[in-house]
Amino acid sequence: MTEPTLLVLDTDPLPRLDRLSGRARVVHADEKSLVEHLPQADVLLVWDFLSDAVKQAWPGGGPRPRWVHTPSAGVDRLLPELAASPETVITNARGVFDQPIAEYVAGLTLALAKDFRGSWELQREHRWQHRETKRVGGTRGVVVGSGPIGRAIGRTLMALGVTVDLVGRTERTGDPEFGRVHGNDALGGLLGDADWIVCVAPLTEESRGMFDAAAFARMKPGAHFINVGRGQHVVEGDLVEALTSRRIAGAALDVFAEEPLPADSPLWEVPGLVISPHMSGDTIGWRDDLAEQFLDNFDRWEAGEPLLNVVDKGLGYVPST
Amino acid sequence: MTEPTLLVLDTDPLPRLDRLSGRARVVHADEKSLVEHLPQADVLLVWDFLSDAVKQAWPGGGPRPRWVHTPSAGVDRLLPELAASPETVITNARGVFDQPIAEYVAGLTLALAKDFRGSWELQREHRWQHRETKRVGGTRGVVVGSGPIGRAIGRTLMALGVTVDLVGRTERTGDPEFGRVHGNDALGGLLGDADWIVCVAPLTEESRGMFDAAAFARMKPGAHFINVGRGQHVVEGDLVEALTSRRIAGAALDVFAEEPLPADSPLWEVPGLVISPHMSGDTIGWRDDLAEQFLDNFDRWEAGEPLLNVVDKGLGYVPST
């Protein structure tokens, strides 16, 4: 039996690669050489999942790999282009980021409520300035995105005493943890009551730009907006306007329309805006976890078993069962 | 019937004072005039609970108030001096600070794990620098102080997936939430396994200086120390040494031996040390909550009913029932 060819988009060595020894021929490609290697690949691992190279190389000429895995939750850097190849299955990293991102969002929520950044700025100036801060318990949060990451965020906020409204693509009732999951069409009505608005939706044509001037206009003056989804969910200029006019109290962005955020971006200096470099899910050992998850799926693929975490290319995410 | 005299240590007006209208003669004193007003007072409300004036005026000459209330959890600014007057009952603000401080500590834990301060320092410099951060779920925490605040902290950390060891004065088993509550003598053995060490103990002669070089030497290099108890629990020079030598990974102090922390204190600049100005429990509306709590107890006092939250002057805190 011939070893299948695993094409890895990334020139660095993969963690845990010893598990494939004798089972696959591993070929590395960079963004430029990807297109020429694609016809020989049985499996494509998009290890550099922040690259747009796969989109650009697809469909190109010759046969395409039957399985493409991205070690990310979002598949917006593969779709809609890969939907043109119905024989190619896409899988993602569903699950790995749930708890890390939930912790990150809970931490941001508490840090914003307790004004930690204000304390740290005062510390720089050696200034002792007591302030009264907000309680998180008893507040309301809206989490936009009802996949496993959104659910983990909602659960963690509820554990802190926050009343959580979870918003997904379509409304459903009888959810064991959240009762009702609201549909996207209910979002406008929910924004006005929320102290915390968290975006963790998949990026689709429907969700692109959903946080715009109209959305910020519905929020309370005391509201905080947190984006751990994709930069393109937000009309960044509208958020800047909402913050500088104090339409809302603050925001934290971990994702941006352009990444890395350029040093001359005006976003760095917007008052009330906290910036972090797309790291909410990336805890120590995450690359090992992502590699293990892919390799577990490789075991299934090799054995002819159904793959886990198969993306619905029409929806743009792995549907909940 | 003569109205009783309520002496208030603070010259600012008290919130919710209308509740006492026609029921008490309210006299305000500052630190200097306290000693002369004390003999006329039936009740002393130590509204300025960061003052040491009561200790200094006690016992002084003449009769002492039969009831002294401090709107704080700690009574270390009243004891041991007031123990010399067995006819005087001390009550405190047990309960008001539980959830606010629990949120504050949970927020610090997450902020330290996720290196929010590092991100905010990079934001100041417009630098995009991805880092891997720690998970909080699956770590271990030791909470020193098993009163209601310590329990609330422990509960909140457990909700974030932290395994919590609660340490009180004496060991007890069968606790409905924590199983075993460890005695102080077990602390040394617990420190070596802890990722988070939280001090929220009452300040007594037994607990003064308990976090010293020997305690820091037992901690893991990755450990973080958080103090929301009293500054005097910590030998500050030993903590500075533990941080500058990277014996431990970091610390957050909300309380200090000297408050306000002087602008020329070396603590402001210690690497890995986060400073906040004794505000962990002080959420918006806290003064109203504290006043209401005192006034509820005043209702009981007036009716001849037993007071709530009576401090055991020997122990230095309100014993759990």
B222, B73: one domain:
no
Answer yes or no: is A316 within a domain. Answer: no
pLDDT-based confidence at residue A173 (cuts at 50, 70, 90):
very high
User: Which run of H or of E encompasses A152?
Assistant: helix A148-159
A260, A290: one domain:
no
Q: Give the residues across from A182 on adjacent strands.
A: A167
Answer yes or no: is A109 within a domain. Answer: yes
pLDDT-based confidence at residue B2 (cuts at 50, 70, 90):
confident
The reply to whether residue A279 touches residue B131, judged by beta carbons under 8 angstroms, is: yes
pLDDT of A256-281, one tens digit each? 999 999 999 999 999 999 999 999 99
A51, A161: one domain:
no
Residue B260 has pLDDT above 70, yes or no: yes
Q: Are A83 and A55 in contact (CB under 8 A)?
A: no
Nearest-10 crossing angle of helices B148-159, A148-159: 170
> Pairing relation of β-strands A89-91 and A67-69?
parallel
A10, A71: one domain:
yes
B123, B243: one domain:
yes
Q: What is the ipTM of this complex?
A: 0.94
**Which whole-number Å values give the CA distances from A313 to A48, A76, A253, in the listed order?**
20, 10, 27
Residue A199 has pLDDT above 80, yes or no: yes
The confidence score (pLDDT) of residue A115 equals 98
Q: Give the residues across from A274 on adjacent strands.
A: A252
The confidence score (pLDDT) of residue B321 equals 66
B35 CB burial (10 A radius; 0-12, 13-18, 19+): middle
What CATH number is associated with residue B260?
3.40.50.720
Answer yes or no: is A54 within a domain. Answer: yes
| Best to test chain A binding among B96, B109, B110, B280 (most A CBs inside 10 Å) | B110
A129, A232: one domain:
yes
A30, A113: one domain:
no
Nearest to B133 among A113, A126, A283 (CB): A283
Q: Give the residues across from B143 on adjacent strands.
A: B166, B198
Answer yes or no: is A256 within a domain. Answer: yes
Q: How far apart are CA B236 and CA B232, in angstroms?
A: 8
pLDDT of B72-116, one tens digit each? 999 999 999 999 999 999 999 999 999 999 999 999 999 999 999
Q: Which of B85, B70, B93, B281 minimizes the C-alpha distance to B53? A: B70
Q: B259, B300, B302, B305: which is the annotated catalytic residue?
A: B259
pLDDT of B21-62, one tens digit each? 999 999 999 999 999 999 999 999 999 999 999 999 998 888
How many other CB atoms are there within 10 angstroms of residue A41's CB atom? 24
Nearest to A110 among B106, B128, B276 (CB): B106
Percent of all residues in chain A with a pLDDT value above 90, rounded to a whole number: 96
A13, A53: one domain:
yes
Which residues in chain A are contacts of B260 at CB distance < 8 A?
Answer: 128
Q: Are B235 and B209 in contact (CB under 8 A)?
A: yes
Residue B197 has pLDDT above 90, yes or no: yes
A16, A163: one domain:
no
What residue numbers bound the domain in which B32 lies? Answer: 5-94+284-302
Reported for A66-71, long-range contacts at CB under 8 A and 24+ positions apart, including other chains, are A66/A42, A67/A42, A67/A43, A67/A91, A67/A301, A67/A307, A68/A43, A68/A44, A69/A43, A69/A44, A69/A45, A69/A294, A69/A297, A70/A46, A71/A45, A71/A46, A71/A47, A71/A96, A71/A290, A71/A291, A71/A293, A71/A294
Residues 6+ apart with CB under 8 A from B312: B318, B319
The reply to whether residue B116 touches residue A117, judged by beta carbons under 8 angstroms, is: yes
- Count the residues in chain B: 321
Active site positions of A, annotated: 230, 259, 278
Average pLDDT of the residues in B290-313: 97
Q: Which of A172, A175, A112, A105 minimizes the C-alpha distance to A143? A: A105
DSSP track, A33-97: THHHHGGG-SEEE--STT--HHHHHSS-SS---SEEE-SSS--TTTTTGGGG-TT-EEE--TTTT
Q: Which of B275, B185, B109, B64 minimizes the C-alpha distance to A122? A: B275
